[in-house]
Amino acid sequence: MTTICSYTIEQYMKMIEDFHGSSAPGLLIGGFMVDLALKNKPECEFYDCICETATCLPDAIQLLTPCTFGNGWLKVINAGRFALTVFDKYNGNGVRVNLSASKLENFPEIKNWFLKLKKKQEQDKDLLFREIIAAGASILDIKEVKVSPDFIGKKKGSKISLCSQCGEAYPVRERDNGKCLICDGLNLYL
C-alpha cells in the first residue's frame, strides 16, 4: 500500500485538509517529496529543512517533519522552485528533492497544473489527484547537496532595543538608527 511517512494517502489527505484548509495537489506531491527525502537523508542527530518555494510545500514539511516555520528548523528561500532539502543541521550535508518538469510526459494533468498550461478552473482535479498518486516518487529528482554555511543554523540573537518611534522591542541591526524596520520605512500599515 502506498504510504507517505507511514500515513496512508487517506490519513495524509485528512491532515492536509485540517491544517492547510484544502486538498491542494502541491501538498500531496509534497508528501511524496518529504517521504523520499527522509528515506535518503544522511544519518544525523538533527536535521533542518529548506523549502525553495513559499507555496504549499512548506506545509507538507511542517506536517511531516519536526521542522516548522516558527521553530526555525524550516527555512523558506522563496525562489519559486518546487524543491526541498533535508540536511544535517551541523554540516549542511543533505538531499534535495524536486518535482521534475522532464518526468511529466506520462502525467499530462500534473504537467498542466505544474507548468500552468491550463487555468485552474479548466483542470480536472480528480484526474490530477489520481495521476499524483499513480506517479508517487517517479516524477521526482533527488540528489545529494551541501547547503552553504550562510543558510545553516540560526543567526545569533541580537540585542533587543526599544524603537524610538513606536516604543516596541526589536532586534538591533548591524547599522541601526534606533528605529525598528517598520518605523524605518516599511509601510506595513496605512
The stretch near a second copy (CB under 8 A) out of 6-14, 121-129, 132-140, 175-183 is 175-183
Of 41, 85, 43, 38, the closest CA to residue 65 belongs to 38
Q: Cβ distance 120 to 138 under 8 Å?
A: no
Q: Which residues pair with 87 in a beta bridge?
A: 48, 94
Q: Is residue 54 a contact point for a second copy (CB under 8 A)?
A: yes
> Distances from the Cα of 85 to the Cαs of 14, 32, 62, 122, 177, in angstroms?
25, 13, 13, 32, 36
Q: Which CB atom, from 1 or from 6, has the smaller least distance to a second copy? A: 6
Instruction: Please select the residue that binds a second copy; options are 40, 44, 68, 137, rule is CB under 8 A.
Output: 68
Q: Is residue 152 a contact point for a second copy (CB under 8 A)?
A: no
- Helix or strand (DSSP H, E) at 68: none
Q: Cβ distance 83 to 94 under 8 Å?
A: no
Q: Is residue 24 a contact point for a second copy (CB under 8 A)?
A: yes
Residues near a second copy (CB under 8 A): 19-22, 24, 27, 50, 52, 54-60, 62, 66, 68-73, 76-77, 79-83, 85, 92, 96, 98-102, 114-116, 145-148, 150-151, 157, 159-160, 162-163, 166-171, 180-182, 186-190
